């Protein structure tokens, strides 16, 4: 078992509770691991709280990592397939152009 797979059974962290007061998110409560009110005038800090999380122990970490990479690979293949198709279409269009010299009258 690698170090990344040795997860703690619990984790305690400080959570910052903020309220959005502007824009389309006005009234939305946020619970984050840092105080975003220091980055945005649209959020105010309501308070902090220590929270203890139970960490799942039977997670296939390598499998989840591979799953994420396979998803990324599929997206890249699709993106590049479309880019390659655009280039091939341009090549095909150029090859379809036929040069016909004008006949002298």
Q: Domain ranges in the chain?
A: 7-54, 60-96
Identify the helix (H) or strand (E) that includes residue 88.
helix 61-96
Contact residues for 34 (Cβ-Cβ < 8 A; gap 6+): 16
Q: Are 15 and 48 in contact (CB under 8 A)?
A: yes
Successive 10-residue mean pLDDT values, the chain, 105 residues: 74 96 93 93 96 92 93 93 91 82 68
Long-range contacts of the stretch 92-98 (C-beta < 8 A, 24+)? none
The SS3 call for residue 4 is helix
pLDDT for 43: 95
- CA dihedral over 61, 65, 71, 74, signed as positive or negative: negative
């Amino acid at each position: 078992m690698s170090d990344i797979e040795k997860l703690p059974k619990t984790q305690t962290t400080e959570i910052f509770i903020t309220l959005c007061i502007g824009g389309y998110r006005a009234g939305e409560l946020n619970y984050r691991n840092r105080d975003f009110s220091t980055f945005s005038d649209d959020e105010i800090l309501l308070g902090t709280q220590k929270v203890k999380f139970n960490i799942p122990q039977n997670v296939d970490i390598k499998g989840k990592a591979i799953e994420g990479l396979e998803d990324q690979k599929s997206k890249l293949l699709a993106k590049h397939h479309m880019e390659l198709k655009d280039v091939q279409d341009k090549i095909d269009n150029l090859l379809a152009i036929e040069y016909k010299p004008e006949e002298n009258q």
